[in-house]
Amino acid sequence: MYEIKLPENCSSNCFDSSIYSLLKYNGLEYEAYNIKYFYTDYYESYLDDSKYFIGRRNSDEDYLKSLFNVNLSFKDITESEDLLKIVCDSLSENPIGIVIDPYYCHWSPFYNKTHYSHVFLIVDVDYINKKYKCFDVHFNDVGYVDFDFDILNSKAKKYFFADFKNKSDINLESMINKLLSSLDCFDSDLIAKKSKMISSFTKNDKDVLFSETLETSISLINLMWIAEDKKHFPFALKYIENKIKKAVFSSIYELLKNSERDFLLLKSLLTKYAVTGVLKEAKIESIVTQIYEADALIVKEMKKILKGL
C-alpha cells in the first residue's frame, strides 16, 4: 500500500490536497504548487446574465507540467470499462485518482444529502473483502477509508493518473515568469467585478445559495476555500524568498491576510443570512469593495517586486 501523508499547511480542497500529497510522496518541492492559489476571478458558473455563483478559479493551466514536468491525465469511466482492472494495472506506478459524487461516499457529510464533486486517491486493493483502500483528506485525521468495489465501480465518474517518470526540479525563473503571467490576467474593471460578486449573494434565491445543511452549502464551502487560498499562497512566496535568500514579500503577506479575513467575514455574513433570513447588503458591498481594492494593490506590488528580482 502507498503510505501517502498529507503535508502541513495543505488545502482542504480534495483535488489540491491529493496532488499536494503526491508531490510530497514523490520527493518534490510541493510548496511551489501554491502559486496556483493567487487569482482574482471568483466565479464558478453562470446561469444567465444576472446570476453569478462564487467559486474558486478553475484554471486551465497545468501547474504540474509547467513546474514539475509531471503529466496529469483524466479519463471518463464508461460502462464497458473494468475499473478494478484499470486500478490494479495502474497501482504499480502510482496511486490512481478518482472523481466521484460525494453523495455516494459513506464517510462524507454530503452522503445521501447533496450532490457535488469529490476527489480521492486509491492506494491499495483488498481483494479478499472486495474493497478499495482510499486516501481522502476528509476522512477524519487518518486519511484512509475502505470503499466497496461495487459502489465505486458503478458511481465513479472519472479516474486520473499523475505520471512522475520524467519529474524535474523547479526552475525558479520559470516559476517567477509563470506568476507574472498570472498577474497580467488581472482585470482592473473593479466596478463590474464588484457588481458580479455582490449579485452572487444578493440576486440568487436563498435555497440556491444554501443546501439543506450549512455543512454542505457549496457557496459557503467555496468561500472557505478561497480564504484558504489566500492563506496558502504565501507559502509559494516564501519558497521564492528561501531560494533567493532574501525577504522581499513582507508587504504582500499582510495584504493577503486581510483578504483572507474578508472572505471569512463574507462566509460569516452568509451563514447568518442562512440562519436568520436577514441579508446585510451594505456590509457585503463594503467587504467586496475591500477585496477588490486589495487585489489591485497585491497585483501592483507583486509585479514591482518580481520584476526587480
Please tell me the distance from the alpha carbon of residue 85 to that of residue 88, in angstroms, as a whole number.
5
Instruction: State the DSSP string of 209-261.
Output: HS-SSGGG-HHHHHHHHHHHHHHHHHHHHHHHHHHHTS---HHHHHHHHHHHH
Phi, psi of 19 (to 5 degrees): -65, -45
pLDDT score of 143: 82
Domains of the chain (ranges plus CATH)?
14-36+72-162 (3.90.70.10), 172-307 (no CATH)
pLDDT score of 58: 63
What pTM did the predictor assign? 0.90
pLDDT in tens, 240-282: 999 999 999 999 999 999 999 999 999 999 999 988 888 889 9
- C-alpha grid cell, residue 95: 496511486
pLDDT score of 193: 81
pLDDT score of 191: 77
pLDDT lower than 50: segments of the chain: none
Q: Are 16 and 35 in contact (CB under 8 A)?
A: no
Instruction: State the DSSP string of 142-188.
Output: T-EEEEEHHHHHHH--EEEEEE-TT-----HHHHHHHHHHHHTT---
pLDDT in tens, 181-191: 889 888 777 77
Please tell me the distance from the alpha carbon of residue 229 to that of residue 12, in angstroms, as a whole number.
10
Q: Are 190 and 291 in contact (CB under 8 A)?
A: no
Please tell me the distance from the alpha carbon of residue 213 to that of residue 96, in angstroms, as a whole number.
31
